[in-house]
Structure 1
């Protein structure tokens, strides 16, 4: 059987997700067949980068992650004469290359000269952006707005709930008090926007429809929104869609007693541009030095706001950080140095603890403040930055080993 995977890059058009999936499936099949032929396919499998890592994409798209627990990993380490180069050549013939990520997985990338490089990178960024559409992460993530400011045509690819959540976050970023509807049985209103005003608060009811461009909003939909606005005594209403409106709908909206605004993806793009411009990209500026100073002074030796990650493949290292700010789904962390308390006399093996003295305040810089996804599983909170999994430091000295 040929190890050549299907190649949609011969088309003049950008390959679809289905065509990219076909490439990945063909690649995975050829790798599994190769490993099976060499009796290496035990406790192995494939995952997407989003599934396996869940972190922010880099400059090179990971087409698939090959994970293993057994002889396949040893073969890639060169323990079986020539099989590592055979695996490399197999990928090379298909336009890919790989890199060991850790002891149990390898990341597979398209060559940067491949016409599929950019489509795969775009798709990986899209998956990342979709993962950011959460109700409470606008203060941490900026890509959400900048992505759609540049590519409003992708709005209709969101799920209906993701689209509602995106609008909710945009209006909040504009300074309004907002309420996101439950997603079902919401009475036809997806977002309620309250604008505080000295002469009386202004309530705007928002209806969102994530439709394909050809599926235009008709008269009945805008009439229903007006009816709800009238019943709730709202001062304004707004319809937002990723498609457009039939002439009858526009005519009706122009005659309503309660002002109604009809908006499309072009408007959402402008809102995203404004929201993106209003976010400080230097993450260290999201917290003030005064706030960090106060935080440092309040820290105790065994404080849950001090987090620790212990990582390594052939070398074991520790990373310590302080939680500066967190929401339900995300957090801002600041890396802090470690202080060695014992070693082997050569500084190669030993134990260390986090340094949480006043000097940490000097580390409030762009390079040391980073963001992470926050998870809570059965009461155990962790923070994942795409490379390290942090959890509350237990107060015990952490071992390190720099000997390879």
Structure 2
């Protein structure tokens, strides 16, 4: 690891992503060289937490994930006389430690007293927030808003499309009917916002520019927006940027026939604060008890709304849930109990099925209703909550094994 990054006075300057990448690359290279030296580097590799898990990060931050399929795992389990201790020492010399996650991977963390602990934590949270910039997940993931409410200076780090999508979701959270532009060939309009009004609908055209703070918006840009608003007979227009405006642009906006509002990151931060405050954090409050009762009564055998995940490393367990709500990219799930239908006489091995009886209604609590990312691959839908991958239960009894 770079000596400069270990120096507290340098670390206080908050290392850039590029500098953190250097640290991670050095760590990964030393691990790979160690594994090759011991003839353990087969079917191995590294992935970030965002790439492999895609779930909500926690503390300590995961610097990188080492995945494997072979003798490397056995070595880390202590099967090869002292190699696990040697690996631990290798990491410790660089300020890191590891934890076995499952049969095929380990998580690598910075030491708690490392000057890089907070920078890695900040980066992991940033990657998580960026993964939430979708058109229909922010209503369950309030972090998307709360992050930028706290740190508006990070808005310019988004891609231009992510910035447009974030604004689209903010306006939706404010109760407006919105249309997100295609991202290219959009006629200079990124979001159309329609405010329903008894005296006539109000259309606002929004132009978004994700610029660095030093790159200020000039007169020509705001004039172009006004021109489009005039052609489309819009009632209002709004320019949103992560930078600021030149005096000539502000002067022009103040004289337009169609009212134009010029906004910056400070305004977006305020909107995010309002949106975050409006999102219910207890997800069980998003559905009524009557709705869940009706859902349970309507469930059929092999119902795709019943989902299942296998969990465990040294033991094998099952997690069953039902889908309460879902959109294209997100879902709300509720954990339901399992019912044992056969076992070894000791309750340690056997088979079980989901229990969808009336007792499930008692599961409608903040602890058992959770959010998950929804993904479709080759026509198969899955739900990832950051720890378990759920897919539609196939109706067959699921085996469990509690012997360690």
Question: Fold conserved (TM > 0.5)?
Answer: yes
Matches within 5 A, 1:25-104: 25-104=25-104
Matches within 5 A, 1:184-333: 184-333=184-333
Question: Is contact 1:5-1:27 (8 Å) kept?
Answer: no
Could you tell me how far apart the structure 2 residues matched to 1:5 and 1:331 are? Answer: 42
Question: Is contact 1:6-1:23 (8 Å) kept?
Answer: no
The gaps in structure 2 that reach 5 residues or longer are none
Q: 1:36-58: CA deviations, max 9, x gaps?
A: 11111111111111111111101
Q: Which residue of 2 aligns with 1:183?
A: 183
Question: Is contact 1:48-1:65 (8 Å) kept?
Answer: yes
Alpha-carbon distance, 1:59 to partner: 1.7
Q: Give 3-state SS (helix, strand or coil) of 1:239's partner.
A: strand
Could you tell me how far apart the structure 2 residues matched to 1:133 and 1:226 are? Answer: 28
Question: Is contact 2:44-2:67 (8 Å) kept?
Answer: yes
Matches within 5 A, 1:121-140: 121-140=121-140
Q: 1:345-370: CA deviations, max 9, x gaps?
A: 00000000001011111111010011
Could you tell me how far apart the structure 2 residues matched to 1:201 and 1:13 are? Answer: 50
Alpha-carbon distance, 1:15 to partner: 0.5
RMSD: 0.8
Alpha-carbon distance, 1:301 to partner: 2.5
Q: Which residue of 2 aligns with 1:343?
A: 343
Could you tell me how far apart the structure 2 residues matched to 1:330 and 1:231 are? Answer: 37
Alpha-carbon distance, 1:6 to partner: 5.3
Q: Give 3-state SS (helix, strand or coil) of 1:171's partner.
A: helix
Question: Is contact 2:205-2:237 (8 Å) kept?
Answer: yes
1:18 aligns with 2:15: no
Question: Is contact 1:9-1:15 (8 Å) kept?
Answer: no
Question: Is contact 1:65-1:106 (8 Å) kept?
Answer: yes
Q: Which residue of 1 aligns with 2:370?
A: 370
The gaps in structure 1 that reach 5 residues or longer are none
Q: Which residue of 2 aligns with 1:379?
A: 379
Q: Which residue of 2 aligns with 1:166?
A: 166
Could you tell me how far apart the structure 1 residues matched to 2:2 and 2:273 are? Answer: 40
Residue correspondences, number: 401
Could you tell me how far apart the structure 2 residues matched to 1:43 and 1:351 are? Answer: 33
Q: 1:29-76: CA deviations, max 9, x gaps?
A: 111111111111111111111111111101210000001111111100
Moved more, 168-177 or 55-64: 55-64
Q: TM-score when scaled to structure 2? A: 0.98
Could you tell me how far apart the structure 2 residues matched to 1:272 and 1:5 are? Answer: 37
Could you tell me how far apart the structure 2 residues matched to 1:5 and 1:167 are? Answer: 39
Alpha-carbon distance, 1:7 to partner: 4.7
Q: Give 3-state SS (helix, strand or coil) of 2:194's partner.
A: strand
1:8 aligns with 2:35: no
Could you tell me how far apart the structure 1 residues matched to 2:40 and 2:396 are? Answer: 40
Could you tell me how far apart the structure 2 residues matched to 1:138 and 1:119 are? Answer: 25
Question: Is contact 1:5-1:94 (8 Å) kept?
Answer: no
Alpha-carbon distance, 1:378 to partner: 1.2
Q: Which residue of 2 aligns with 1:155?
A: 155
Q: Which residue of 2 aligns with 1:403?
A: 403
Q: 1:105-146: CA deviations, max 9, x gaps?
A: 000000111110010000000000000000111222110000
